[in-house]
Homo-oligomer: A and B are copies of this chain.
Amino acid sequence: MSVQSWESRARRAKDVLLNSVPKQWILPAHRLPPAHQNNVEDFPRKSGVLSDREVSITEMSATALVAGMEAGLLSAEEVVIAFLKRAVLGHQLLNFATEFMAERAIARAKELDEHFKRTGKLVGPLHGVPISVKEHFEIKGRTCNAGFVAWVDDIANEDALLVQYLEKAGAVFHVRTNQPQSLMHICCDNNLTGATTNPYNRTLTPGGSSGGEGASMGFKCAALGVGTDIGGSIRAPAGFCGAYGFRPTTLRIPATGIKVPGPGQESIRGTAGPLASQSVEDLDLFQRAILDQEPWETETSLVPLPWRRVKATKDMTVGIMWDDGCVRPHPPVTRALQHAKEKLLAAGIKVVDWEPYRHDHGWEIVSSLYFPDAANSQRTVLSQSGEPLLPLTEWAFAYSRASALTIPENWALNYQRDAYRDAYHALMKSREVDFILCPVYVGAAAVMGESQYWNYTAIWNILDYPGVVFPSGLVVDPELDPVDGGYSPRSEVDAREWAKYGPERYEGAPIGLQLVGKRFKDEETLAAAGLVSDIVQGRAEVIKSGL
């Protein structure tokens, strides 16, 4: 046991961070928006740090950036510098980073530029795309703490396998991002580098556990981001921060070198996946760039399914799930679903209502499987430093049973899980529904520390359905989203979540939506989400008219 206090150990994570921030782009405090200014999303164009060209670059999609580099209109170096500047600003305002990697990123960008100059060719489909990455992905020679003070000095021997594949595809990693203690909050606070905030409203959480990624995408500190999701940890941050996120079916994206307590747990699998600041298309680009490299040839537990090229058509049926039967979504979320329904119908898409099937039962299974060892794996790591448990850590651990499950109890839950999956799939087929459009969360986002209800995302983890989050284009608006005083909650949990709503508490929060598809229909789900998001955001017409 170390005799150091947990505070002094935690301080080292702050040192890593502070020493890594590129000093030349730090803005003095007096030029930043005041602390009471909640919405800072638009600050980059007013900051004076980024040129107009740099602002434009940081608001391009990954797809467009690569096209720009292929056409010789952009250099990888200027692209990464633009994003580094924006990321430093973003960090000053949102505390989303755990470590900048400016030197590595700029050196890599120069290499890419030289390669392109020499050969006239891109190195791969992500050539020069700046990508932010959640801290618990190991990066060679750097610390990896996964949100635990005890691991603050752990140094990785190798880049995580996913990072290796992305880099081979041309990606540039410039910043690592924050995560909550235990990795199991839909929020983003820890005892190391503290809480990250939401660029659209700094009283809100950016979501979690990939909360640093949510902020990174919302503030456009990177074109793509890398998160992980076992209960909503990619999708909630994407939804809360007005960005795009994709949770693939498990066993498609490599997991080697992602640090977690209790590796080898497989009853409810997590998966890595992308977030994007600009488009669903970029999520597909990310998946393609990885899967075209056949990662199952190295991480053999992956399923050898090549990434298929799928084009969306309007010939599909979308089931809208207005409510999961347990906890009613807040009024802005219902408004966004209503808006989506109208747009989809107007576009000629078949839309039906989706009656949820036993989401309470699904939650019973998944919540029992998150911590079958009564969270002892996590508690052990926490106790190694003596750091205090944050309230949302206690909250998550409370999902576990009072004592550890036995192995046969775990088997019984696996069996129930598979039966539930079979039944849900049979229902989708019998109702002829291809995709389910649903809330990402009870609300458009959560106030810091309040995100307690996971099951608008976790249900798709237990079912292992691919899910895409995209912005509806709407934001919470006190005029349009008054409190509905007439609603009688069904349960204590329903009442607790309903009581949190007041439009002023969420003002300006973007309202995300989630489209899920059948297990292993990742390609179809992304293609459909691309079309649905264009329609819902009103971009489909623009595209159709040729603009």
20 further contact pairs, Cβ within 8 A, besides A300-B421, A304-B305: A263-B411, A263-B415, A264-B410, A264-B414, A265-B411, A265-B414, A266-B411, A266-B414, A297-B429, A298-B422, A300-B418, A301-B418, A301-B421, A301-B422, A303-B303, A303-B520, A373-B406, A373-B407, A373-B408, A404-B406
Q: How far is the CA of A266 from the CA of B266 in the complex (A)?
A: 9
Residues of chain A in range 301-324 having any CB-CB distance to chain B below 8 Å = 301, 303-305
Q: State the Cβ distance, A7 to closest chain B Cβ, in Å.
A: 29
Contact with B along A398-442 (1 / 0, CB 8 A): 000000111110111111101001100110010000000000000
Contact B264 A411 (CB under 8 A): yes
Q: How far is the CA of A416 from the CA of B264 in the complex (A)?
A: 8
Counting CB contacts under 8 A, is A376 at the interface?
yes
Counting CB contacts under 8 A, is A450 at the interface?
no
Contacting residues, chain B, for A406 (C-beta < 8 A): 373, 404, 407
Counting CB contacts under 8 A, is A372 at the interface?
yes
Counting CB contacts under 8 A, is A168 at the interface?
no
Contact A262 B408 (CB under 8 A): yes
- Copies assembled: 2
Counting CB contacts under 8 A, is A377 at the interface?
yes
Counting CB contacts under 8 A, is A259 at the interface?
no
Counting CB contacts under 8 A, is A519 at the interface?
yes
Q: How far is the CA of A289 from the CA of B465 in the complex (A)?
A: 27
A463 closest partner in B (C-beta): B300
A404 closest partner in B (C-beta): B407
Chain A contacts to B: CB under 8 angstroms: 256, 262-267, 296-301, 303-305, 372-373, 376-377, 404-408, 410-416, 418, 421-422, 425-426, 429, 519-520
26 residue pairs from A and B, CB less than 8 Å apart: A262-B411, A263-B415, A264-B410, A264-B412, A264-B418, A265-B414, A266-B266, A266-B411, A297-B429, A298-B426, A300-B421, A300-B425, A300-B519, A301-B418, A301-B422, A303-B303, A303-B305, A372-B407, A373-B406, A373-B407, A377-B408, A404-B407, A405-B407, A407-B407, A407-B410, A410-B410
A411 closest partner in B (C-beta): B264
A464 closest partner in B (C-beta): B300
Contacting residues, chain B, for A411 (C-beta < 8 A): 262-266
Q: How far is the CA of A303 from the CA of B250 in the complex (A)?
A: 11
Q: How far is the CA of A263 from the CA of B416 in the complex (A)?
A: 10
Contacting residues, chain B, for A412 (C-beta < 8 A): 264
Contacting residues, chain B, for A301 (C-beta < 8 A): 418, 421-422
Contacting residues, chain B, for A267 (C-beta < 8 A): 266
Contacting residues, chain B, for A264 (C-beta < 8 A): 410-416, 418
A265 closest partner in B (C-beta): B411
Q: State the Cβ distance, A249 to closest chain B Cβ, in Å.
A: 10
Q: State the Cβ distance, A252 to closest chain B Cβ, in Å.
A: 11
A256 closest partner in B (C-beta): B422
Q: How far is the CA of A406 from the CA of B297 in the complex (A)?
A: 31
Contacting residues, chain B, for A429 (C-beta < 8 A): 297
Contacting residues, chain B, for A422 (C-beta < 8 A): 256, 298-301
Contacting residues, chain B, for A373 (C-beta < 8 A): 406-408
